[in-house]
Amino acid sequence: MPAEMPSGRDAASIDVNVLAARIGAFDAVIGIVGMGYVGQPLALGAHKKGFRVIGFDTDPNKVDALNSGKSCIATIADDKISLMRDSGRFRATGTDADLSEPDVVLICVPTPLTKNREPDLSFVEQTSHSIARSLRPGQLICLESTTYPGTTTEIVRPILEATGLKAGRDFFLAFSPEREDPGNAQFHTTIIPKVVGGDDDASRLLANAFYSSLVDSIVPVSSSATAEAVKLTENIFRCVNIALVNELKHIYGRMGINVWEVIDAASTKPFGFMPFYPGPGLGGHCIPIDPFYLTWKARQYEVPTRFIELAGEVNSAEPREVVNAMAVALSARKRLSLNGARILLLGVAYKKNVDDLRESPALVIMDELVASGADVRYFDPWIPAIPQTRAHPDLAGRECIVWQPERFSQYFDAALIVTDHDGVDYAELVGSIDLVVDTRNATRNVRQGRERIILA
C-alpha cells in the first residue's frame, strides 16, 4: 500500500525521512509510466529488489500482454515477465487514476523529434498532466526520458505545481537519465551507474535513496538540468566520434586502406584512444535524435552548435553513401545498374540483436534502393515483417525471406549487409552470392571468396 500522507492538496509538512525509510526497506510502491525498452527493464530491476511495481502504458495490447506474463520486447524473455507477474508484486494498467498509488513514479516515455527536427515533448507533457490529475502529497516523480537541459523544471514542474502542490515541499521531483543498451547482455539496469539530479535538498535526498536501492552505484549531480546535460553529452560524444570514423572510412577507402584494420591497430594503444566504428548511418532513439535536443535549446541562448550539427550531417548522409557504394559495385563488378538489380538486404533493425526499427538506416537504404528501381528483399531474424512507420509507409508489410543460401545465387545479384546480427552465417552468404557489400565488417572472418566482398 502507498505511504500514508496528509489528505487533500493543501498538505502539511511531509516527513521526507519516512518515505526514505520505506524506500530503504523496499516497502515503497514503484510506478513506471511507459513499458517499453526502458520501462520493462526498470520494472524487472525494481521487482527483483523487492519493490511492488505498477506498470503504466497507453497501449492496451501491451498491458494485456504484461498481465498475461508475456514480454513485449524480444530481448526480454517471457519467463521473466511471468515470474514477476506470478509474484503478486506486479501488475500493468492503462488507468491514469491508479497513478495516485505509487510512492515513486518514473516517467519513461518517448521524446522524439518533429518533422522539422525539433523536440517533441508531447508524451512527457501528456504524462505529466496524467500524473497531476492524481498527484498526492509525498510522491517522488522522476523523469528518465532523454531531453534538453531544463525540461524537468520548465515543463514537468509547472504542470505538477498547477495542482497547488509545491515541488520540494509537498511532492518531490528529479531527473535520472536512462542508460539502457538493448541487446547488450553484458550490462543490465541494476549494474549500470545511475546519474541522479534534483533541484532541492528533499528531492535529491529521496531520489538518491530510491536509485541507491535500485542500482549498484549512483552518481549524484547538483541539479536536474545537469543530469539532463549528462545524458545528452554521452550520446553526442558517440554521435561526433561515429561521424569522424565515417568520414575517415571514405578518406581511407579512396586510398585503398581498410579503416577497420586501422581502428583495430590504433586500439592497441593503451591510452588516449577509444575505438568507434563506421557504419551505414545511425539508428535507435538516442544517438540520431539527442543532438538535436541540445542544438534546439542552444539557439535560445544564441550559441552556435556547428560541430554537433556537422556530425549530424555526416551521419545522416551515410545511408545514401551506402546506396552509391552498391551502385558503383554493381556497375564495376557485374555491369549492372541499380534499376532492375535484385538485392538481398541483411538486417533492418537499427542495431544487432534487437527487434527495434526506430530510426533504422536500413529503412532509408531500402527506400532509396527501391526508388532507384531495385528489387529488394530482406533477411532479419529479429524482424519478421516491417510494420507501418511514419517515415517509410511504403515498406510496411514486407516480410523477411527464408534463409536458403543454396538458392541465393539464382535470385540475387548482390547482398548488402546493413545490420550484423549474431547467428547469421556470413560465410554461407559470401559463398552463395558473388557480390557482397558489407557496411559492418561482418565478413571479416570469411576467408574464401574475399574478392566477392566490398567494404562500404
**Rounded Cα distance, 251 and 74, in Å:** 38
Q: How confident is the model at residue 363 (pLDDT cuts 50, 70, 90)?
A: very high
In which band, very low, low, confident or very high, does the pLDDT at 189 lie, cut at 50, 70 and 90? confident
Q: Which residues pair with 218 in a beta bridge?
A: 194
Both 78 and 188 in a single domain? yes
- What integer pLDDT is reported at residue 266 of this predicted model? 98
| pLDDT(12) > 50 | no
Helix (H) or strand (E) holding 16: helix 16-24
If asked whether residues 323 and 188 sit together in one domain, one would say no
Strands (E), 17-126: 29-33, 52-56, 90-93, 104-107
pLDDT of 325: 96
26 assigned to some structural domain: yes
Q: 129-148 in b/e burial notation, b at 16+ Cβ within 10 A?
A: ebbbebbbbbbbbbbbbbbb
Residues 213 and 249 in one domain: no
68 and 178 inside one domain: yes
| Cα separations in angstroms, 325 against 331, 332, 424 | 10, 10, 23
pLDDT over 70 at 424, yes or no = yes
**Total domain count, the chain:** 2
Average pLDDT over every residue of 318-330: 97
Cell for 134? Answer: 492524481
11 has a pLDDT exceeding 60: no
Output the pLDDT for position 450.
Answer: 64
Contact 193, 216 (CB under 8 A): yes
Question: Are 218 and 253 in the same domain?
Answer: no
- Residue 61 φ/ψ region, left for φ over 0, alpha for ψ in the -120 to 50 degree band, beta for the rest: alpha
What DSSP letter does each residue of 215-276 carry, written as one string?
A: SS-EEEES-HHHHHHHHHHHHHHHHHHHHHHHHHHHHHHHTT--HHHHHHHHTT-SSS----
Task: List strand residue ranges (DSSP E) for 380-431, in order.
Answer: 414-417
CATH number at residue 411: 3.40.50.720
- Name the more confident of 227 and 73: 227
pLDDT in the model for residue 4: 41
417 and 269 within one domain: yes
Q: Which residues of 317-331 are buried (b: 16+ CB within 10 A; e: fewer)?
A: bbbebbbebbbebbe
- Strand order across the 375-379 sheet: 375-379, 342-346, 414-417, 436-438, 453-455
Angle, helix 224-254 to helix 290-300, in steps of 10 degrees: 120
pLDDT at site 180:
82
Residue 383, all three cell numbers: 524482424
**Average pLDDT score over residue span 186-203:** 91
Measured CA to CA, the distance from residue 413 to residue 68 in angstroms comes to 45
Residues 257 and 393 in one domain: yes
Average pLDDT of the chain to the nearest whole number = 93
Within this chain, do residues 161 and 256 fall inside the same structural domain, yes or no? no
Q: Helices 224-254 and 306-334: crossing angle, nearest 10°?
A: 30
Question: Which SS3 state, helix, strand or coil, does residue 378 take?
Answer: strand
> In terms of residue numbers, what domain contains 294?
238-455
- In whole angstroms, give the CA distance from residue 70 to residue 209: 31
| 189 and 304 co-located in one domain | no
**Cα–Cα separations (whole angstroms), residue 122 to 26, 114, 126, 134:** 32, 10, 6, 19
Task: Say what the pLDDT of residue 390 is.
Answer: 86
pLDDT digits (tens, 9 = 90+) for 290-322: 999 999 999 999 999 999 999 999 999 999 999
Q: Which residues share a beta bridge with 31?
A: 54, 105
Whole-number Cα distances in Å, 156 to 40, 150, 160, 200, 290: 22, 9, 6, 15, 19
User: Could you tell me if residue 132 is inside a domain?
Assistant: yes
pLDDT of the residue at 187: 76
**Buried residues in 226-255 as b, exposed as e (16+ CB within 10 A):** ebbbbbbebbbebbbebbebbbbbbebbee
Which of the residues are catalytic?
286
Tell me the H-state helices in 267-305: 290-300
Mean pLDDT of the 154-180 span = 96
In angstroms, the CA 286 to CA 329 distance is 32
Which of residues 222, 255, 270 is at a domain's end? 222
Q: Are strands 29-33 and 104-107 parallel, antiparallel or unpaired?
A: parallel
- Examine the pLDDT at 128 and tell me if it is beyond 90: yes
Cβ atoms of residues 419 and 183 within 8 Å? no
Which domain-ending residue is among 195, 222, 249? Answer: 222
Asked if residue 127 and residue 181 are part of one domain, the reply reads: yes
Examine the pLDDT at 3 and tell me if it is beyond 70: no
In this prediction, what percent of the chain has a pLDDT beyond 90?
87
Q: Do residues 185 and 315 both lie within one domain?
A: no
Residues 38 and 120 in one domain: yes
Cα–Cα nearest to 207, from 152, 131, 155:
152
At 449 the pLDDT is: 55
Lowest mean pLDDT among 73-77, 198-202, 225-229: 73-77
For the cut 60, the answer to whether the pLDDT of residue 208 exceeds it is yes
Instruction: State percent of the chain over pLDDT 70.
Output: 96
Q: How far apart are CA 3 and CA 51, in angstroms?
A: 13
| Contact assessment for residue 279 and residue 248, using Cβ atoms and an 8 Å cutoff | no
Instruction: Give the pLDDT confidence of 220-279 residue by residue, as tens digits.
Output: 999 999 999 999 999 999 999 999 999 999 999 999 999 999 999 999 999 999 999 999
Asked if residue 215 is part of any domain, the answer here is yes
φ, ψ (nearest 5 deg) of residue 151? -60, -45
Residue entry with cell 495516485: 100
The pLDDT assigned to 448 comes to: 61
